[in-house]
Amino acid sequence: MKNTTDLEGLGLATRCIHAGELVNDAGAPHTPLYNTTTFAFPSTADLLEVVDGRRPGSLYTRYGSNPTIQSVETKLAAIEGAEAALLFASGMAAECALFIAHGQDGIVCLGDAYGGTLSLLAQSLPKLGRTTAFLSGTNLSELKAHLAAGARLVFFETPSNPNLEVLDIGAIAAIAHAHGALVAVDSTFASPVNQQPLRHNADLVVHSATKYLGGHSDLTAGAVMGSQALLAPLRAWRSDLGQTPAPETCALLARSLRTLVVRIERHNTNAQAIAEHLEGHPRVRQVRYPGLARHPSHAIAKRQMTGFGGMIALEIDGDYADTVRVMDRLTLFARAPSLGGVESLATQPVTTTHRGLDEAERARRRITDSSIRLSVGLENAADLMADLDQALA
């Protein structure tokens, strides 16, 4: 296998294509799909060599010991600049393992987050004794107080879902580390092409690989990247809870990762052009995009991101009915709750991703009846702008 060290010093696009690929007898340029649940051994002595860890080998797919899965994990680690990566059956499975493994002394969730994550943290994990304090991402004195009281895991999204809040990874990591806490960043909206949180001193990075890493709206997966030591307890939970993705999904993900850089570059340029176009639109009250100089955290975004991604949040100048009318008139943008694929999608957080929040919580998070979240795809930007213009007209 070509591993991370073989590729040290090489560029990101090169690592996306070559990292982790298994050299194989058939001469295939990439890792074959080992679509198998188990692996056979010539003898019991040989089996025990692998079971007892005296030599590496494949054993059972649910444990993650399958060459197709491991090859994609090596690729992901190389792309994110991490020592190791672990794949999961979804982004939520990845977060669940993270919070169970490292959240036992209390979790702090900063700022905005995906509705499913909020539900996991607020509703489900307290039943397992994992409690979360939800704090603003900008009032860092609040964070210090909570860490002083004992919380040992700080989690946040940047840029966040759905409002594209940008939090300062380095500043938060400095505070967390001073209190002996870990920092985990959900970097799904950015992708590793635009942001590598470990370089800004985060300890762990989480991705819904369903989004930009998969990139074609045809696979569901998750990933966590970090040190071997921090991933070890997540690996145990993944195995015990059966959260490992299928080898077919991993092969599809590897296919997608090979084109990650070119895809993200196009997402970035399309979204920047559309955000600038909509900024002056008479029917749009507000455009939130980290690449706009008017974004409240544009300076932080410029410091910690190398591109600003494909996600845009809009406030329509109108009420709920007006916003539904705009949504329903879109023709190229599909009305769907996901993001990160080649095709452009639009969603109202109040009808999908954040529907589970009550009104007060939505108001606190500035998720309004007039909010639309765009996932800008890879179509021609002019066609997408024309679609938005006719829907807004």
> Of 147 and 339, which has the nearer Cβ to ligand PLP?
339
CB of 25 to ligand PLP, least distance (A): 35
186 is catalytic: yes
Minimum CB distance to ligand PLP smaller for 159 or for 291: 159
Q: Which is nearer to ligand PLP, 15 or 207 (CB)?
A: 207
Which value, in Å, is the radius of gyration of the alpha carbons in the chain?
A: 21
Residue 32 in tokens: 């074959």
Distances (CA, A) of 167 to 26, 34, 102: 47, 40, 21
Under 8 Å between Cβ of 167 and 297: yes
Q: Which residues bind ligand PLP (CB under 6 A)?
A: 90-92, 114, 116-117, 157, 161, 186, 188-189, 208, 210, 220, 222
Given the complex with ligand PLP, which of 213 and 287 has the nearer CB atom?
213
Alpha helix ranges (H) inside the chain: 12-18, 44-51, 67-80, 91-102, 115-119, 140-148, 169-178, 191-194, 228-241, 247-257, 260-279, 298-304, 320-329, 359-364, 381-392
Q: Are 147 and 122 in contact (CB under 8 A)?
A: no
Least Å distance between CB 176 and ligand PLP? 20
62 a catalytic residue:
yes
94/391 with CB nearer ligand PLP: 94
In whole angstroms, the minimum distance from the beta carbon of 38 to ligand PLP comes to 27
Asked if residues 275 and 294 have their Cβ atoms less than 8 Å apart, the reply is no
Chain position carrying tokens 């594209």? 164
Q: Which of 2, 60, 62, 322 is catalytic?
A: 62
Three-state DSSP state, 286: strand
Q: Could you tell me the smallest distance in angstroms from the CB atom of residue 220 to ligand PLP?
A: 5
The least distance separating ligand PLP from the CB of residue 282, rounded to whole angstroms, comes to: 30
Residue whose C-beta lies closest to ligand PLP: 91
Query: What separation in angstroms does the CA of 122 have from each of 39, 187, 357?
Result: 40, 21, 11
> CA angle, 139 as apex, 137 and 144 as ends, to 5°?
95
Q: How far is the CB of 115 from ligand PLP (least distance, A)?
A: 8
Nearest to 72 by CA among 42, 43, 34, 99: 34
Of the residues 34, 114, 212, 289, which is catalytic?
114
Compare residues 121 and 278 and give the one whose CB is closer to ligand PLP.
121
Q: Which residues are catalytic?
A: 62, 114, 186, 211
